[in-house]
Amino acid sequence: MALPEDTNGPDSPPDSPPATDRRGGVRYRRAALMGVPAFLIAGALVGLTASGALAAQFAISGMPFVVTADSLEGSGFGQFGALDNMADGSPNAGDTGGQVLVIVTAFREAKLTNLCQSVELGGTHLLITAGNKGTPVKASGLTTDSSDMSAKLAEFENIEIGGDASTYDKPPIKGPLGSFGQQADSVTITKVRQNNYATTATRFTLPDLSMGFSSKGC
């Protein structure tokens, strides 16, 4: 997730208020309290990896979708908290004010086996599967914005926890200044499950892709 440039140039009026880092018009610092350490303490999933794709800068629909995979292997890991925003007047806003607190996670490169994605649509589910016949799904610049996630096991190589996400160099993108973050050289995750509001990738290759409607989700 890229940070906006400072708009206070040399010609700005002396009494102009300093520019603040924002995502969709909301202060980044409001997302800095993300409780990512709880995932580690509880032994649950800590994420995917910060990568070349930006986390959701589009207006999210506000409809969460489930993503599962038997295994995920990725390099260039990074993670931090943020806020996603719905379009003005979205019927899915409810009492949230159109904002969702999310864990932004991504990989520079990732491979997933037996990928499943589903979203509930009025009593039925749109179901997408791929990478379930011996050839894994591959993604570059993969990011996900998740409300919660879990896994049977997550193994990290050279992980750093608690740093300022704006200073990270292992993922190709940085978090907001002052935000709690973590990064690692690589991570291997088994039986991953995420509730997501957004996914982006610079490249996504899905072998054996299948899409249709089902009475059950992932």
Three-state SS annotation for the chain: CCCCCCCCCCCCCCCCCCCCCEECCEEHHHHCCCCCHHHHHCCCCCCCCCCCCCCCCCCECCCCEEEEEEEEEEEEEEEEEEEEEECCCCCCCCCCCCEEEEEEEEEEEEEEECEEEEEEECCEEEEEEECCCCCCEEEEEEEEEEEEEECCEEEEECCEEEEEHHHCCCCCCCCCCCCEEEEEEEEEEEEEEEEEEEEECCEEECCCCEEEEECCCC
The predicted structure's pLDDT at residue 56? 61
- CB contact at 8 A, 184 and 77: yes
Which residue from 169, 203, 176 is spatially nearest to 78, judged by alpha carbons?
A: 169
The predicted structure's pLDDT at residue 164? 92
The predicted structure's pLDDT at residue 106? 79
The predicted structure's pLDDT at residue 129? 98
The predicted structure's pLDDT at residue 157? 97
Which residue from 9, 188, 218 is spatially nearest to 128, judged by alpha carbons?
A: 218
User: In order along the chain (218 residues), what is the average pLDDT of each group of 10 residues?
Assistant: 42 45 38 35 29 60 96 94 92 93 90 97 95 96 93 96 90 82 96 96 96 96
- CB contact at 8 A, 206 and 112: no
Q: Which amino acid is at 121?
A: L
Q: What is the pTM of this model?
A: 0.72
The predicted structure's pLDDT at residue 75? 96
The predicted structure's pLDDT at residue 45? 27
The predicted structure's pLDDT at residue 82? 86
